[in-house]
Amino acid sequence: MGISKTVNYVMDEASAEASRGMKRFISQEHIFLGILKLTEITASDITGGLEDSAQALNREISELKQLFEQTFEIRIEHMTQILRLETMLSRKVVPADVDALQNRAKEVARMRGSSVCCAVDLLNVILENPPETLRAAMRIERWKDRSSEWPHG
């Protein structure tokens, strides 16, 4: 099972978010913030414009952005601000089992018939059982898995 460059980007951003928030660990909230950050860039920000897969990465980023716009009533920029503040202030933020999250995301990718684990798979895993801080910040009641609607892989 391959991992999309977007997943690596998200994990790098999650680590940076944890550092900015003075946390010594990566939480699911930090990973969610990394996914939000992904919606603000293009493939050339990941690849430096040197890769043939830029078109596929741009499609993945665009589809992820569309998924957020269709699912949440709050703008992406506001989600980032709210969640960053909630994550920094909350004592309920706990370390994520990053390996378990990535393994589950690979399972989700496999279930939708893809050979590549993408950021949308990671998002679906986090939102299967969102942490309390994320649920409160995003007003998430229940997440409907829409990953099968996105033509990745």
Cα–Cα nearest to 120, from 68, 77, 84: 68
pTM of the full structure: 0.81
pLDDT at 73: 65
pLDDT tens-place values along the chain, 153 residues long:
888 899 999 999 999 988 887 788 899 989 988 998 898 888 888 876 666 678 888 888 998 888 877 777 667 777 777 777 776 666 777 889 999 999 999 999 999 899 999 999 998 898 888 888 877 776 655 444 444 554 444
CA distance 41 to 39: 6
Is residue 104 a contact partner of residue 134, using CB atoms and an 8 Å limit?
no
The residues pairing with 117 across neighbouring beta strands, listed in sequence order, are 3
Is residue 68 a contact partner of residue 46, using CB atoms and an 8 Å limit?
no
For residue 16 the two structure tokens come to 């940076």
Is residue 76 a contact partner of residue 40, using CB atoms and an 8 Å limit?
yes
pLDDT at 49: 61
Indicate the helix (H) or strand (E) that contains 3. Answer: strand 2-3
CA distance 45 to 13: 13
